Amino acid sequence: MKEAEIRRLLAANLLCVFSIILTAVLPAFFWKGFTVLGTHLAWLCICSVCVSTLNIILHLILRPNLTPKRSSFVQKISRFLKCCIYFFMSCILFHAIIVLYGAPLIESVTETFLFAVLLSTFTTLQCLCILGPNIQAWIRVFSKNGAMSIWESSLQITTMGSILGAWFGAFPIPLDWDRPWQVWPISCSLGATFGYMAGLIIAPLWIHWNRKQLTYKSR
């Protein structure tokens, strides 16, 4: 396993972490009264757009795909449209799952959907960038020992970190603490964000420490 590839992964992940930090700090210079808690829905939109844009740019620059193939313009357009459809379906699916786990069905629909968009940005968008709209590849990567590159290993860690962070973030909501950050879906979205950021930092370090045991094979 090449150390240069691990360094590329670390640099890309740190850029994503830095971009999330900027979404919480930079808008306050241009938007009076902007805070992550006070204008949470706006922050959800800004964070989702910034992380999505950066990930797409990094994907185009680094090209982490294992088998890059030349494709025609029509094929590229078709792939792009499929990715858009998959991402939208992911938002709907996450929204439904979140409601089934106890989120308000009718009230706070906007809040729930924007939280679903954030989760899709941290999980599904990563899969689309690295694996493309290929469900079989997604199933392979998230099966046991299914990763075939350090990028796919990082994808596993960041995805699980985001979902677990969102799940743990739901625990304080029903508690009678009467804190501003207990309002739906602030604690869940912050939990997902911290879980995603933790995954971005942990992934390259874990891969570096276990590089001798990780033997990726083409399948």
Tens-place pLDDT, residues 76-85: 899 999 999 9
Total residues belonging to the chain: 219
The pLDDT value recorded for residue 110 is 95
Show me where the domains of the chain are located: 3-62+73-214
Q: How far apart are CA 110 and CA 75, in angstroms?
A: 34
Per the CB < 8 A criterion, the answer to whether 37 and 186 are in contact is yes
At residue 9, the pLDDT reads: 94
Q: And the tokens for 191? A: 């939990």
Neighbours of 33 (CB within 10 A): 7
CA–CA dist 69, 96 (Å, integer)? 35
pLDDT(114) > 70: yes
Q: pLDDT tens digits, residue range 93-113? A: 999 999 999 888 888 899 999
- Are residues 21 and 194 in contact, defined by beta-carbon separation less than 8 angstroms? no
Closest listed residue to residue 162, CA positions, set 199, 131, 209, 128: 199
- pTM value is 0.92
Q: Closest Cα partner for 53 from 22, 79, 9, 8?
A: 22
